[in-house]
A and B are shown apart, each in its own frame.
Chain A
Amino acid sequence: MLESRVLSKDDFVEWGKDYVLFLHNTSHVEDEPYPNLLKEKGGTGFPTLMFMDAEGKVLAVHRGPRSLEGFTKSAEKAREYLRLREAAAKGDGKARVRLLLLDLEMGGFDPKDARDRLDALGDSMSEEDREKAEQKIVDKEVAGELNRRLRALRGKPRTEIMKAYRETVVDLFRKGMVPSDRSGIGYMVQLGSAALESGDAKFREKVLDTLESFRKKVPMYGRYLKPVIEKLESKIGDSDEEGEEEEEHEGRRKQGG
Chain B
Amino acid sequence: MKNSTILPGILAAGSVLALCGAPLLPAQGVSKRRAPAAAKMRKVTPQKRSVPSQEELIKRREKKLALEWIAKGGWITDYDKARALAKKTNRMIFTYFTRSYAP
Q: Do A25 and B98 contact each other (CB < 8 Å), given the known contacts A3-B67, A20-B91, A37-B79?
A: yes
Judge whether B95 and A22 touch: CB under 8 Å: yes
Cβ of B102 within 8 Å of any chain A Cβ, yes or no, is yes
Query: CA separation between A25 and B23, bound complex, in Å?
Result: 35
Cβ of A48 within 8 Å of any chain B Cβ, yes or no, is yes
Cβ of A145 within 8 Å of any chain B Cβ, yes or no, is no
Q: Which of A16, A52, A227 contacts B74 (CB 8 A)?
A: A16
Shortest C-beta distance, A217 to chain B (Å), equals 15
Interface residues of A (CB under 8 A from B): 1-4, 7-8, 12-13, 16-30, 33-38, 41, 43-44, 46-56, 59, 71, 75, 78, 146-147, 150-151, 154, 158, 161-162, 165-166, 182-183, 185-186, 189-190, 192-193, 221, 224, 227-228
Shortest C-beta distance, B16 to chain A (Å), equals 4
Judge whether A25 and B1 touch: CB under 8 Å: no
Judge whether B93 and A8 touch: CB under 8 Å: no
Query: CA separation between A55 and B79, bound complex, in Å?
Result: 10
Shortest C-beta distance, A196 to chain B (Å), equals 9
Judge whether B86 and A4 touch: CB under 8 Å: no
Query: CA separation between A29 and B64, bound complex, in Å?
Result: 13
User: Which residues of the partner chain B approach A35 to less than 8 Å between Cβ atoms?
Assistant: 1-2, 4-5, 8
Cβ of B99 within 8 Å of any chain A Cβ, yes or no, is yes
User: Across the two chains, which residue of chain A brings its CB closest to B55?
Assistant: A29
Judge whether A22 and B10 touch: CB under 8 Å: no
Shortest C-beta distance, B19 to chain A (Å), equals 7
User: Which residues of the partner chain B approach A182 to less than 8 Å between Cβ atoms?
Assistant: 13
Shortest C-beta distance, B89 to chain A (Å), equals 7
Query: CA separation between A22 and B65, bound complex, in Å?
Result: 12
Judge whether A4 and B103 touch: CB under 8 Å: yes
Query: CA separation between A221 and B16, bound complex, in Å?
Result: 13
Judge whether A54 and B96 touch: CB under 8 Å: no
User: Which residues of the partner chain A approach B76 to less than 8 Å between Cβ atoms?
Assistant: 20-23
Judge whether A49 and B17 touch: CB under 8 Å: no
User: Which residues of the partner chain A approach B77 to less than 8 Å between Cβ atoms?
Assistant: 22-25
Judge whether A21 and B94 touch: CB under 8 Å: yes
Judge whether B73 and A186 touch: CB under 8 Å: no
Judge whether B19 and A13 touch: CB under 8 Å: no
Q: Which of A18, A146, A190 is packed against the most chain B CB atoms within 10 Å? A: A190
Query: CA separation between A34 and B60, bound complex, in Å?
Result: 17
User: Which residues of the partner chain A approach B17 to less than 8 Å between Cβ atoms?
Assistant: 185-186, 189, 221, 224
Judge whether B97 and A48 touch: CB under 8 Å: yes
The 6 closest A-B pairs by CB, nearest first: A8-B69, A186-B16, A22-B82, A54-B86, A54-B87, A19-B94
User: Which residues of the partner chain A approach B12 to less than 8 Å between Cβ atoms?
Assistant: 44
Query: CA separation between A11 and B75, bound complex, in Å?
Result: 15
Interface string of B1-28 (1 = CB under 8 A from A): 1101111101111001101110111100
User: Which residues of the partner chain B approach A53 to less than 8 Å between Cβ atoms?
Assistant: 86, 92-93
A23-B70, A44-B13 known, 19 other contacts, Cβ within 8 Å = A8-B73, A12-B73, A13-B73, A13-B74, A22-B96, A24-B79, A25-B61, A26-B97, A27-B99, A27-B100, A37-B79, A53-B92, A56-B83, A165-B20, A166-B20, A185-B16, A185-B21, A190-B20, A193-B23
